[in-house]
Amino acid sequence: EVQLVESGGGLVQPGGSLRLSCAASGFTFGSYAMNWVRQAPGKGLEWVSAISGSGGSTYYADSVKGRFTISRDNSKNTIYVQMNTLRAEDTAIYYCAKCRYGTDSFDIWGQGTMVTVSS
């Protein structure tokens, strides 16, 4: 079964850091670009970051550029996002999502992990 499982969310103070993980199973992980997409409480979807299958290319939304770093370990079938200098507006459910082959639509999503930035 194709599956993505996120972990690492929690409560963090403004200015703090957090690292999220997403463990994948059921597909040839290194062949696919992967993404982080977030959803603030009661709001819509916002793409955050993407990483190519090899890990050699990374992409970021302007809202997180310079603060978030995406990475992957293909030997562990896992992607990560290191989130630094967190702000209240980063509070959201963070979803890991797999790119559909040959497109940047997202065909597989994890259940999400909640990040709350508050003092």
Residue 109 in contact with other proteins, rule: CB under 8 A: yes
Report DSSP letters for 76-88, one per residue: TTEEEEEE-S--G
Q: Binding string, 33-52, against other proteins, x = CB under 8 A?
A: --x--------xxxx--x--
Do 29 and 79 form a contact (C-beta atoms < 8 A)? no
> Quick one: which of 112, 113, 115, 117 contacts other proteins (CB under 8 A)?
112
Torsion on CA atoms 41, 119, 15, 95, rounded to nearest 10: -20
Nearer to other proteins, 14 or 98 (CB): 98
Nearer to other proteins, 42 or 119 (CB): 42
Residue 61 in contact with other proteins, rule: CB under 8 A: yes
Residue 5 in contact with other proteins, rule: CB under 8 A: no
CA distances from 84 to 17, 18, 33, 47, 66 (A): 4, 7, 23, 17, 9
Interface contacts to other proteins, rule CB under 8 A:
35, 44-47, 50, 59, 61-62, 95, 97, 100, 103-107, 109-112
